[in-house]
Structures are given as structure tokens and as C-alpha cells.
């Protein structure tokens, strides 16, 4: 039914009932009006208005639902749709809106994929240059300092040793940076080794206790999926260290049915209704890229749990 006929019909029902009551009920209106008659008339008017409001609310409910979805819809949480049953303008409007969401979600996923891939390749390039340029020249400086220290007399020798230590520290820092930018172990040794190295680096640098629970029978994953799991673990750990005030973080990797689930759980203050920043939105975009689901919930006993559930591709027969 079109919106016009829907509203017209609702009003006709209310007005028709009021007229029927006037025709068949024993009601008379005197001039000037008597108090009891005025009370009955006003009462009737109130009943009519309430009935009209209730019917209109019911009739316009699909439009209300549509407006609410329009104001709250988030393309990073795909699949939010309204049922569009029947015919009429409202159902047509909902169907068009749903189709528009389909298109926007698809375009969003494609453009995020493009941006994320460009970001990864830029990171790889910077990591390569850091490794090949800065790393190499610092190693050369380190060797030169060692030679100079071997030949120098005290107290210059002591100072050269100190310079050597500082340079070694910086070289370690560059190597760590390179590892963070481009998880090379991911390509060479796979996800479990990369996550193990990430978590032990994290534990050393933050002083937090890290528990690893990795299933032994993890299936082979696409390189893209592994990278997304790695980046989500990386951001979740960074967030736990920066915001959670936690003492312990648990990183789990489980294989259940057709999915692999990464869970990072801290025992901190909990995320509650914090605004999502670039970090969490980045995780959502990465999840979309591989068709995975990202859940952020309170962990049992306080703290935050980030869970990424990624589909495992079926084996080709």
C-alpha cells in the first residue's frame, strides 16, 4: 500500500469509528452545551487523537526504522539491513536503501583494500631501505669504532667502547623497526613464529606478562590472511600496553571448524564505550579485506578481548 493510502486509511478508520459512535450512541449536544456533554465530547476527542497517534506510529514505523539505520549505519560493520516486505513506496525505499548499502560496502571494501595494500608495500619499501642503507652504514660505523678502540689508549678507548655500545643499541632499534614494518618472519617461518617473536619482543619492551596459546593444528592460510592476523595482534598488543593498564595479556590462535580465531585478551581496565580511533578502525578495515569478523568485548573478569575470526579457504580437491 502506498504511504498516501496507508495514512488515509488509518485516518478513515478513526474518523469512521467516531462518526459511527455519534450516529448510534445515545449522545446529544445541546446549545449552549451542558457540562456532562462537553466532558463526553472532549473525552471522545482525546480517545480519537490517541487512537490516531497510535495508528500513525504503527503505520510509519518502517520509516522510523529506516531513519534510525540511516543515521547509525557504519560501513565497517557490514550486513546491517532492514526487511522490506510487501509493496508500496516504503518497502521500495527500504529496498533501494539496502541496495545502496550493498554498493557502498563493496566500494568501501575495494578502496580499503587498495589503501591497505599500498600501505603495506610502502612499509616494505621503507623497511628495505632502513635495512639496506641505515643498517649497513651503522654496521660499518660499529666496525670502525671497534678497530679504533682496539688501537686507542685509555681514556679514549673507554669512550670509544661507550660509542660502540650506543651504536649497537641504535642498530638493534633499527632492526626492531624493520621487523615491525615488515614482518619478514611471516614470509619465512609463518604466522606462529612471527606471532611468537612479536609477543616476546612485546613482553621484553613493556614488562607485561604475555601468555601464548596457539593451537598445534593450524591450517595453511593465505599470506594476506596471515598479514591481517599479524597486524591485528600487533595493534591489540600496542593498545593493551598504551591504554589498558594491564599486567597480563593472553594471545590465542585457535582453529575451529572452517575458521581461525585470533584472540588478544588483557586484564586491564576494559575498553567500555571508548571512541574508536584510527587503530581500531584500521583493524576493522583489515578484517573486511579478508571477510573476517572483528569483535571487541569485555573480557571475563575485567579487561578487553579483541577477537578476529577469519575464514579458512577450503582445500581444493
Ligand X SMILES: Nc1ncnc2c1ncn2[C@@H]1O[C@H](COP(=O)(O)OP(=O)(O)OP(=O)(O)O)[C@@H](O)[C@H]1O
Q: Please, what is the minimum distance in Å from the beta carbon of residue 271 to ligand X? A: 4
Q: Answer yes or no whether residue 239 interacts with ligand X by CB under 6 A.
A: yes
Stretch binding Mg ion (CB under 5 A), from 50-58, 67-75, 211-219, 279-287: 279-287
Among 84, 145, 280, 288, binds ligand X (CB under 6 A): 280
Among 88, 270, 279, 311, binds Mg ion (CB under 5 A): 279
User: Pick from 69, 40, 184: which is nearest to 123 by CA?
Assistant: 184
Q: Answer yes or no whether residue 304 interacts with Mg ion by CB under 5 A.
A: no
Q: Answer yes or no whether residue 206 interacts with ligand X by CB under 6 A.
A: no
Q: Which residue has the cell 566500494?
A: 107
Q: Which of residues 181-240 bind Mg ion (CB under 5 A)?
A: 239
The answer to whether 309 and 290 are in contact (CB under 8 A) is no
- Closer residue to ligand X in complex, CB, 82/244: 244
Q: For residue 195, what are the contacts with CB-CB under 8 A and spacing of at least 6?
A: 212, 214, 229, 230, 233, 251, 253
- Closer residue to Mg ion in complex, CB, 239/265: 239
DSSP string computed for 43-79: HHHHHHHHHHHHHHHHHHHHHHHHHHHHHH--TTS--
- Closer residue to Mg ion in complex, CB, 190/279: 279
How many Cα atoms sit within 13 Å of 270 on the Cβ side? 8
Q: d(Cα 289, Cα 287) in Å, to the nearest integer?
A: 5
Beta strand extents in 257-292 (DSSP E only): 259-266
Stretch binding Mg ion (CB under 5 A), from 98-106, 124-132, 275-283, 301-309: 275-283
Residues that bind ligand X (CB under 6 A): 239-240, 242-244, 266, 268-269, 271, 274, 276-280, 304
Amino acid at each position: 500500500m502506498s504511504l498516501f493510502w496507508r495514512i488515509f486509511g488509518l485516518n478513515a478508520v478513526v474518523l469512521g469509528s467516531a462518526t459511527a459512535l455519534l450516529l448510534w450512541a445515545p449522545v446529544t449536544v445541546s446549545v449552549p452545551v451542558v457540562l456532562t456533554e462537553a466532558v463526553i465530547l472532549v473525552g471522545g476527542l482525546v480517545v480519537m487523537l490517541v487512537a490516531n497517534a497510535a495508528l500513525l506510529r504503527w503505520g510509519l514505523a518502517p520509516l522510523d526504522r529506516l531513519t534510525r539505520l540511516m543515521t547509525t549505519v557504519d560501513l565497517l560493520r557490514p550486513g546491517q539491513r532492514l526487511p522490506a516486505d510487501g509493496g508500496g513506496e516504503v518497502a521500495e525505499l527500504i529496498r533501494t536503501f539496502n541496495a545502496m548499502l550493498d554498493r557502498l560496502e563493496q566500494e568501501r571494501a575495494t578502496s580499503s583494500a587498495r589503501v591497505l595494500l599500498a600501505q603495506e608495500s610502502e612499509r616494505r619499501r621503507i623497511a628495505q631501505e632502513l635495512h639496506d642503507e641505515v643498517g649497513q652504514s651503522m654496521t660499518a660505523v660499529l666496525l670502525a669504532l671497534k678497530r679504533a678502540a682496539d688501537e686507542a689508549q685509555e681514556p679514549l678507548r673507554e669512550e670509544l667502547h661507550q660509542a660502540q655500545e650506543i651504536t649497537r643499541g641504535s642498530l638493534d632499534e633499527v632492526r626492531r623497526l624493520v621487523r615491525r614494518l615488515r614482518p619478514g618472519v611471516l614470509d619465512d617461518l609463518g604466522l606462529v613464529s612471527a606471532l611468537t617473536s612479536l609477543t616476546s619482543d612485546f613482553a621484553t619492551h613493556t614488562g607485561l606478562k604475555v601468555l601464548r596459546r596457539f593451537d598445534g593444528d593450524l591450517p595453511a592460510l593465505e599470506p594476506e590472511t596471515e598479514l591481517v592476523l599479524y597486524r591485528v595482534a600487533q595493534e591489540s598488543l600496542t593498545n593493551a600496553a598504551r591504554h589498558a593498564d594491564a599486567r597480563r595479556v593472553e594471545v590465542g590462535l585457535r582453529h575451529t571448524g572452517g575458521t581461525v580465531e585470533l584472540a588478544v585478551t588483557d586484564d586491564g581496565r576494559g575498553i567500555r564505550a571508548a571512541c574508536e580511533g584510527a587503530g581500531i578502525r584500521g583493524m576493522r578495515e583489515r578484517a573486511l579485506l579478508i571477510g573476517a569478523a572483528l569483535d571487541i568485548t569485555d573480557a571475563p573478569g575485567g579487561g578487553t578481548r579483541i577477537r578476529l575470526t577469519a575464514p579458512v579457504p577450503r582445500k581444493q580437491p
